[in-house]
Structure 1
Amino acid sequence: MLSRRLFLKSTALIGCSAAAHPLLSSATFAAAPGDNRLVVIILRGAMDGLDAFQPYGDPALRGLRQTLSLGPDHGATDLDGFFALHPGLSDLLPLWQAGQLAFAPAVSTPYRDKRSHFDGQTMLEAGTGTDLDLDAQQDGWLNRLLQAMPGQASETAYSVGVSQMRILQGQAPAKSWTPKAQMDLSPQAEQLLTRIYHDDPLFRDASAQAMEIVASLSPDLATGKPGQDHLEIARFAADRLNGQTRIASFSIGGWDTHAGQAGSLPRMLGRLADTILTLKADLGANWDRTTVMAMTEFGRTVRENGSAGTDHGTGGTLLVAGGAVRGGRMMGDWPGLAEGDLYDGRDLMPLRDIRAYAAWAMHAKFGIDRATLEGSVFPGLDMGSDPRMTA
């Protein structure tokens, strides 16, 4: 038998990046009345917002980071004299110039101090504002939004990907669809399954049959196209949004950058840029009625660590794009990076609940009243003032 201790030991070898692994990516869709569209992208693994949207004009930044977030003198694109765009997002510069891209720094959920990817993602998708008994928080804020919206289509929502996203779990009905996924097994994995299930006829026979099916698949169906899953999901999302779907959510993993951030983050930011531009291209005229919100479970430390990376932090950055966005600007306030301005002496100080931006988007896109948003969609949330995120 595969003991619980062996399972935990094996999963520990994967590291904390398991929460950002591509196999945990999925997408969800919902139909709703009206012509406005909302896309929520969950960036699993805690994107470093200070590197993506670089506050190079803050005098404390250079002392905190020796190789990261160094501004226009090191390849980033100046945006407003204070913030610069990471080179990995440079393809999105035309959106900024057209007023279709904005950033909100210093945002977070109410999750604090424990810095677990899994718990942080659960709170982000549950949207309840509390980290007490996270396992019991099974429904998500997009599902609660659907329950508050009249005139939904009969097929309210369905999930796309390897695993269902909590953000759309709940009482509103959902169906599932799975895109092509890698189904290859290494010889070592086959031997491990054979040994584990050797004395259990039920699992032994079932696993043997599964391995035969995988071996019989054509190369295209068995392996898919590596590195193209985000574009496949973006194209499918755009196709749905061009039809009856009005709300879509999917995830992009791989944002955990404890070491070698200068090598890994540009690739991930490039994937995000490609995803957004694919949505724009495939949506056509419907892009003008679309708001895309890319959010992550928490930010990363303001100080670069000894492995040329960053560790789990608190305040992060929200990216907002779309033809319906009032962009070309920073939204919200900047807390500063001086020692006395940091959260717990190590993190960017969060100034606003990221749920407030999502709530105001729902208010603008679908006319949901503030009492419903603060009471049932995001229980306990104070939305604060309107950031006027959409046109």
Structure 2
Amino acid sequence: MLCETLNPTRRAVLGASGALFAWAFMPKFAHAAGGRDPRFVTIILRGALDGLTAVPPLGDPGYASLRQDIALTKDGENAALPLDGFFGLHPSMPYFQKLFQARQAAVVHASATAYRERSHFDGQDVLESGYPTPGHVETGWLNRLLEGLPAGELISPGPAERVRGLSVGANAPLVIRGKAPVLGWAPPVLKAADGDLAPRLMDLYGKTDPLLAGLLKEGIETGKIASGLDMKAKGGAGDPDGMEQMARGAARLIAGDGGPRVAALAFEGWDTHAQETERLAKLLTGLDRSLAAFHQELGPAWKDTAIVIATEFGRTARINGTEGTDHGTATTAFLAGGAIAGGRVITDWPGLKDAQLFEGRDLAPTTDLSAVIKGVAVDLLGADAGHLAEAVFPGSGKVAPMKGLIV
């Protein structure tokens, strides 16, 4: 799988840490629905999630024959968790099911971006840039969304008054790169330093470089808020422990009254060409634990939170010879949060008969993912529909924001 990387400079890293304590200058969202104080989180699943395994259409007569040995069932050893009678949920996602039953989570099935080829690199580019074709820009739709949000009433003017975003991970996902300032944070990957190291460095730089000393202090505080003093480095972005740690740290940073309100994370490893059953069970466990971490850490802010989980494309309707699936088209997006009008699978289901498959091989796309994101942005953040069509998702004027996603 090909993925873009970002090599942060020393200045960028220090600038990100310094941005944290400029939160007091951050504008509030003036026109958020109902005067609420919203949080909006985007989680990118890189590698192409198999939506037919994550949320299997158990009621479709074509499902079992297409999936054969990896098919989930309504009961027995390979039983899916129940959702609505027609669709089930992978058994590795019991927390999502709990949120679904509480009407705080929903599924958007048979969804896709405008991309119709099967390159991971290009598919991720379209998913994160917001353009209908790859290769246009170096900025992401979430950052451009930040640029266009109403400024509202500033608590106090200051140099970081536009800091509203949070990027989680060693490299900023394309979706949140751009002109709008963004705070960066990644879970620790090195052995914890001796307790006297930070004070010694503070003393040194306090005498020789006051600016660096201030940034160092802020960076230390960032780590304390995000990670907690009792957390140790765990797995990476494709491991359940790593996913949970990234989510828990992000939630701690956006939970406070003065914290960022918009965040982006990227989880890796969803390219399941072979032995999909074991691999996807592990990955979906990590995703489920990350949602539990957000719910637990956000506290009262959960009620005004929307989390959108999306991937670059789906996978083939038929399994291949190695009990996996190849690159496809439509897939599943997940929505979670106290602000989500949940408890439902949102879909214009295309069916799984041979004649109904896209190009004779894939689940057909019937819902444009940009409509989902636009709907959340308008009703939760007060985003302008015209700005969304022109700048955030250029050329998407015919795709209206989906209504009814936010309570």
Task: Tell me, yes or no, if structure 1 residue 99 matches structure 2 residue 106.
Answer: no
Q: How many angstroms apart in 2 are the aligned matches of 1:376 and 1:180?
A: 35
Q: Match for 1:82: what amino acid?
A: F
Q: CA 1:157/1:165 → structure 2, altered by over 3 Å: closer, same or farther?
A: same
Task: Tell me, yes or no, if structure 1 residue 171 matches structure 2 residue 173.
Answer: no
Q: Match for 1:58: what amino acid?
A: D
Q: TM-score, normalised by structure 1?
A: 0.79
Pick aligned residue for 1:365 from 363, 368, 380: 380
Q: How many angstroms apart in 1 are the aligned matches of 2:46 and 2:288?
A: 16
Task: Tell me, yes or no, if structure 1 residue 247 matches structure 2 residue 262.
Answer: yes
Q: Counterparts of 1:222-261 in structure 2 under 5 Å?
A: 224-226=233-235, 227=239, 228-243=241-256, 244-261=259-276
Corresponding residue number in structure 1 for 2:48? 46
Corresponding residue number in structure 1 for 2:82? 78
Q: How many angstroms apart in 2 are the aligned matches of 1:144 and 1:385?
A: 17
Q: How many angstroms apart in 1 are the aligned matches of 2:138 and 2:344?
A: 35
Q: Match for 1:94: what amino acid?
A: K
Q: How many angstroms apart in 2 are the aligned matches of 1:361 and 1:100?
A: 14
Instruction: Give the C-alpha shift of residue 242 in structure 1.
Output: 1.2
Contact 1:32 1:247 in 2 (8 A): no
Q: Match for 1:55: what amino acid?
A: P
Instruction: Give the C-alpha shift of residue 360 in structure 1.
Output: 0.8
Task: Tell me, yes or no, if structure 1 residue 283 matches structure 2 residue 291.
Answer: no
Q: How many angstroms apart in 2 are the aligned matches of 1:239 and 1:356?
A: 29
Q: Indicate the SS of the match to 2:42.
A: strand
Instruction: Give the C-alpha shift of residue 239 in structure 1.
Output: 1.3
Q: Which moved more, 1:115-124 or 1:376-385?
A: 376-385
Q: Counterparts of 1:190-201 in structure 2 under 5 Å?
A: none
Corresponding residue number in structure 1 for 2:402? 386
Q: How many angstroms apart in 1 are the aligned matches of 2:103 and 2:376?
A: 17
Instruction: Give the C-alpha shift of residue 314 in structure 1.
Output: 0.5
Q: Match for 2:405: what amino acid?
A: M
Task: Tell me, yes or no, if structure 1 residue 33 matches structure 2 residue 35.
Answer: no
Q: Counterparts of 1:181-192 in structure 2 under 5 Å?
A: 181=189
Q: CA 1:323/1:20 → structure 2, altered by over 3 Å: closer, same or farther?
A: farther
Q: Match for 1:224: what amino acid?
A: A
Instruction: Give the C-alpha shift of residue 311 in structure 1.
Output: 0.4
Corresponding residue number in structure 2 for 1:157? 165
Q: Which moved more, 1:321-330 or 1:378-387?
A: 378-387
Q: Counterparts of 1:206-355 in structure 2 under 5 Å?
A: 224-226=233-235, 227=239, 228-243=241-256, 244-355=259-370
1:239-294 per-residue CA deviation (whole Å, 9 max, x = no partner) reads 12112211111011111110001111011001000000100000111111101111
Corresponding residue number in structure 1 for 2:125? 122
Q: Indicate the SS of the match to 1:272.
A: helix
Q: Indicate the SS of the match to 2:93.
A: helix
Instruction: Give the C-alpha shift of residue 372 in structure 1.
Output: 1.3
Task: Tell me, yes or no, if structure 1 residue 66 matches structure 2 residue 36.
Answer: no
RMSD: 2.5
Q: How many angstroms apart in 2 are the aligned matches of 1:278 and 1:242?
A: 12
Instruction: Give the C-alpha shift of residue 225 in structure 1.
Output: 2.3
Q: Which moved more, 1:256-265 or 1:380-389?
A: 380-389
Q: How many angstroms apart in 1 are the aligned matches of 2:268 and 2:182?
A: 23
1:180-238 per-residue CA deviation (whole Å, 9 max, x = no partner) reads 1269xxxxxxxxxxxxxxxxxxxxxxxxxxxxxxxxxxxxxxx9323422222212211
